[in-house]
Amino acid sequence: MADISVEINRIKFKNPVMPAAGPNVRNARMMLAAIDGGAGGIVSKTVSIKPADDKRPTIRKAICRGLVNSETWSELPIEKMLVELAEVKNAGVPLIVSIGYKPGEVAKLGELIENEIAPDGFEFSTHYTGKSIEPLVEVARSLRSAVEAPIWMKISPNTPDIEALAIAVSEYVDAFVAINSFGPVLDFDIENPIPELGSDYGQGWLSGPPILPIALRIVYQILSVRDKPVIGVGGISKGVDAIKFIMAGASAVQVCSAAIRSGHSVYGKIAAEIGDWLETHGYSSIEKIGGLYKKRLGEQRTFDRIPVMSIDPEKCIGCKACIERGIQGAIYMKNETAAVIAENCIGCGFCQDFCPQSAMQLMDR
């Protein structure tokens, strides 16, 4: 069995899959269900000084198996959330409590929760703190001065300069969580074009598979400037998604939308799939694939001049999958196999993704 346990800020997780803050972990009942579903750790729904008051509906389906939501933070008052957290604290997995938003608020909440619950760590959401770096640093600094436990900073994908932010907050935080949902966005049904969410004009925040590549890029960016753990979150619903984040350098992953769609067992399912993938690929532990993408960056193929696609006639089975995607008219059938008209080829590389035989590669002209 491959070893899928991980350690982040000296907190030990039996597997690297935990829920991301959302309705999937809004109270003790949901957090305990996530543990039953195989989560390696728990992150709570974000709690703030004032309970949220979200107009319904708050969650709808969006394009490409995504979700769009207008949920803000917890609707529970802090006193009630403390009771919920106390129930989960000794449930057998590490507990990370998510809090927000202003400097004074996170300091007050952090101190109170640390005294009452002593969680394994804190995560603070930056979703409503704006895009400027200084106010975000201010929140991190304020929480740092209030608590002893490790602090994870949850990054919003709207932050314009991720690297500058990571550098600026680094001395106050122990790890990063990337990313929160993306937006605001708007989606609706053309058969009934009215707002689908209870928010202003129906706008909301996009999550699930459509945001996975954004999250992956941000995980990579943070790690390119700071050697601190990053927990990847955004669009993960399968073991292979989690593997991709780990290869980008993530130490663990969080899951929200897939749990909302498929239920609490998704955490254990993803964890098992990670183990199976490692096993079948001959890796003994997660550590072996950590940051593999960065390690292989030097293998990136670059071209001084526009290259041309080349097709190996020995491998080509004449399925025409490349011709169907070839809007440049650069590929044609010649004696039962595909061939390239070099002057029409712009060297974009797209057609090779559809070749079932791996018969295509870009070459110097």
- Which residues of this protein are in contact with ligand FMN, per CB under 6 A? 20-23, 45-46, 59, 67, 69, 71, 73, 98, 125, 127, 154, 180-181, 207-208, 211, 233-236, 255-258
Residue among 97 and 107 whose Cβ is closer to ligand FMN: 97
Minimum separation from the CB atom of position 356 to ligand FMN (A): 30
* 155, two tokens: 């990054």
Beta carbons of 185 and 208 less than 8 angstroms apart: no
Minimum separation from the CB atom of position 56 to ligand FMN (A): 12
Residue among 38 and 235 whose Cβ is closer to ligand FMN: 235
Beta carbons of 4 and 275 less than 8 angstroms apart: yes
Q: How far apart are CA 325 and CA 337, in angstroms?
A: 16
Find where tokens 């106050």 sit: 172
DSSP 7-34: EETTEEESSSEEEPSSGGGSSHHHHHHH
- H or E element: which one contains 332? strand 331-334
Find where tokens 């899928």 sit: 4
Residue among 76 and 112 whose Cβ is closer to ligand FMN: 76
Residue among 267 and 338 whose Cβ is closer to ligand FMN: 267
Minimum separation from the CB atom of position 344 to ligand FMN (A): 40
Phi, psi of 152 (to 5 degrees): -105, 130
Residue among 63 and 342 whose Cβ is closer to ligand FMN: 63
Residue among 101 and 293 whose Cβ is closer to ligand FMN: 101
Helices (H), 197-349: 212-225, 239-247, 257-262, 266-280, 292-295, 321-325
**What are the CB-based long-range contacts (under 8 Å, 24+) for 340-346?**
340/308, 340/309, 340/310, 340/311, 342/308, 345/308, 345/309, 346/306
Q: How far apart are CA 212 and CA 214, in angstroms?
A: 5
Residue among 27 and 181 whose Cβ is closer to ligand FMN: 181
Kindly report the number of other CB atoms within 10 A of residue 57's CB atom. 16
Q: How far apart are CA 313 and CA 335, in angstroms?
A: 10
Minimum separation from the CB atom of position 189 to ligand FMN (A): 19
Q: Is 200 helix (H, G, I), strand (E, B) or coil?
A: helix
Minimum separation from the CB atom of position 159 to ligand FMN (A): 13
Residue among 120 and 322 whose Cβ is closer to ligand FMN: 120
Minimum separation from the CB atom of position 275 to ligand FMN (A): 20
How open is the CA angle 20-25-31, to the nearest 5 degrees? 115
Residue among 37 and 235 whose Cβ is closer to ligand FMN: 235
Minimum separation from the CB atom of position 210 to ligand FMN (A): 9
Q: If 0-12 CB within 10 Å is exposed, 13-18 middle and 19+ buried, where does residue 299 land?
A: exposed
